[in-house]
Chain A
Amino acid sequence: MAVRYYVSDIVGSGTAADPFHPALKDVVSVNWSGCDLRADDSSAGGKMLVWCDTTTVQHTLLTADVRITYLPFEDLIGMVLGIASTLGDVSAANRTLIASRLGALSIPMQDLLTTDLLKKVIARIVRRVRIRRALDLEDFTEGLDTLVSDIPSERLAAIAARLQVRGYDSSVVIGTDTIRQALVKLAVQDVPWQTNEFDV
């Protein structure tokens, strides 16, 4: 068994009898922990980052499930790495997969170094979620490579206002930044409620 990290669709109806929960629960019914990646707690759908100690059989079932995306923190021989390992310990192919899978969720990680701990990747995901929650409906929906200057000025003003209310310094973001760069500039700021369990 090894603790693996997955991004799972959220299913359920949000009622007390049928709470929103990760689809992963169909395979791993208990003994998992998660972080909701949605901006809005009331919306159906969305994703949750989930970590759990899975057997090989469970892992095989999870990777075959289209509702679940595996983050392969594995080395060259397929050994699952703990979050105290570095990104450099992850095989290059898996690093590319992780970056691509997180990029699809608007979570940039290309600035992270091979010397950074995997814990920092998880921290980046959690910090991105907190930016998403700060922005709510104004969250970036454009691709990560879109220039900030391509976003309409009214919307940029609304984004800046929302960020400032939550204590972010939005002035560090400039028009020639891509959204990827802007998100990194915001994610590295130590806003009080931005700190999380995985910060290093």
Chain B
Amino acid sequence: MIVVNDSFTAADGTLLQGHAGEEGASTWTKHSVSGAAHAKINSNRVYLDSAGGDFAFYYPNGSPISPEYDVEADFVCLVITGAAGRPRLLARIDVSAETWYEVVWDGANIFLNKDVATVVTNVGSSALTAVDGETHAIMAQIRDSAKKVFLDTIEIITSADNAITSNGPGGVGFVGAQTTTDGIHIDNFVVTDLAVEEVLIRNRKLSQQQRMTA
């Protein structure tokens, strides 16, 4: 079930937090650990307007009902002249601390990281060189059993890590300078929850086991 769907359709220059997506993203919140820079919309894509700083993280109000969900977006390479802005997908975000899983593309490699209270651990990587004009679909499949990263539907990273278990929302972030014409911008952000039935089955199993161990 899709819980968030945002194609970032808005006038150029619109702040991400001032924009409403198609579904489950009637508001976007700038995470409190962000710097002064703001994500903005340009050509119906979101990028980091790095005036005043160079990092910012956002999450929509639509939140999955369980910690197991997919978060995905298209990563659009414009002219890559610098660090590409290191755009990222975020998952299981703690909305009051810098804690989340993140899939970061720095223009040369994709990394799967866990960031626990600002302590970052790299738990997987895959090479991908940014080419001007190309677009790639990147998806983070977040399950208790595994965290997987898919590039254009091909699985490229699998980690058995499950250090962050809370049911936080998915989101986007940027670290590094970008302009309207430079860097890797993000489009078509989607969060898809597990089917409600699957969550109910999972919760039923959990309560049965809790009864058995009580």
Q: Give residues in A with beta carbon < 8 Å to B.
A: 10, 12, 14-16, 19-21, 25, 29-36, 41-42, 48-49, 122, 126, 129-130, 133, 164, 167-169, 190-193, 195-199
Chain A residues near B145: list those with CB within 8 A.
195-197, 199
Please state if B209 and A190 are interface contacts (CB–CB under 8 Å): yes
B51 in contact (CB, < 8 A):
no
Please state if B213 and A48 are interface contacts (CB–CB under 8 Å): no
Chain B residues near A49: list those with CB within 8 A.
160
Question: What is the CA–CA distance of A199 and B162 in the complex, to the nearest angstrom?
Answer: 15
Question: What is the CA–CA distance of A198 and B145 in the complex, to the nearest angstrom?
Answer: 8
Interface residue SS majority, chain B: strand
Chain B residues near A167: list those with CB within 8 A.
206, 209-210, 213
Within 8 Å by CB of B120, from A16, A31, A164, A192, lies A16
Chain A residues near B126: list those with CB within 8 A.
30-31
Given known pairs A191-B209, A192-B144, A195-B145, the reply for A130 and B162 (CB within 8 Å) is yes
Question: What is the CA–CA distance of A170 and B9 in the complex, to the nearest angstrom?
Answer: 54
Question: What is the CA–CA distance of A198 and B118 in the complex, to the nearest angstrom?
Answer: 29
Please state if A21 and B121 are interface contacts (CB–CB under 8 Å): yes
Please state if B160 and A196 are interface contacts (CB–CB under 8 Å): yes
Tell me the minimal C-beta distance from A193 to chain B in angstroms.
5
Tell me the minimal C-beta distance from A74 to chain B in angstroms.
22
Give the interface centre of A42, A122, A192 by most chain B CB atoms within 10 Å: A192
Please state if A192 and B205 are interface contacts (CB–CB under 8 Å): yes
Question: What is the CA–CA distance of A48 and B163 in the complex, to the nearest angstrom?
Answer: 13
Q: Provide 17 A-B residue pairs closer than 8 Å at the C-beta atoms, listed in order of the A residue.
A: A10-B121, A14-B119, A19-B111, A20-B119, A20-B122, A21-B122, A30-B126, A31-B125, A33-B123, A35-B159, A42-B117, A129-B160, A164-B213, A169-B213, A196-B146, A198-B160, A199-B145
Number of A-B pairs whose CB atoms are under 8 Å?
101
Chain A residue, CB-CB nearest to B120: A19
Q: Give residues in B with beta carbon < 8 Å to A.
A: 109, 111-127, 144-146, 156-163, 165, 175, 202, 205-206, 209-210, 212-213
Nearest 10 pairs of A and B residues by beta carbon = A197-B146, A19-B120, A41-B116, A35-B160, A21-B122, A20-B121, A33-B124, A14-B119, A30-B127, A126-B160
Chain A residues near B206: list those with CB within 8 A.
167, 192
Give the interface centre of A10, A15, A19, A191 by most chain B CB atoms within 10 Å: A19
Give the interface centre of A31, A34, A129, A193 by most chain B CB atoms within 10 Å: A34
Question: What is the CA–CA distance of A30 and B159 in the complex, to the nearest angstrom?
Answer: 14
Give the interface centre of B117, B119, B205 by most chain A CB atoms within 10 Å: B119
Tell me the minimal C-beta distance from A169 to chain B in angstroms.
5
Give the interface centre of B127, B161, B212 by most chain A CB atoms within 10 Å: B161
Question: What is the CA–CA distance of A198 and B159 in the complex, to the nearest angstrom?
Answer: 10
Chain B residue, CB-CB nearest to A195: B145
Chain B residues near A32: list those with CB within 8 A.
124-125
Chain B residues near A33: list those with CB within 8 A.
112, 123-124, 157-159
Q: Known contacts A15-B120, A49-B160, A129-B160; can you find 8 more A-B pairs with CB under 8 A?
A: A14-B120, A19-B122, A21-B121, A35-B123, A36-B161, A130-B162, A167-B210, A169-B213
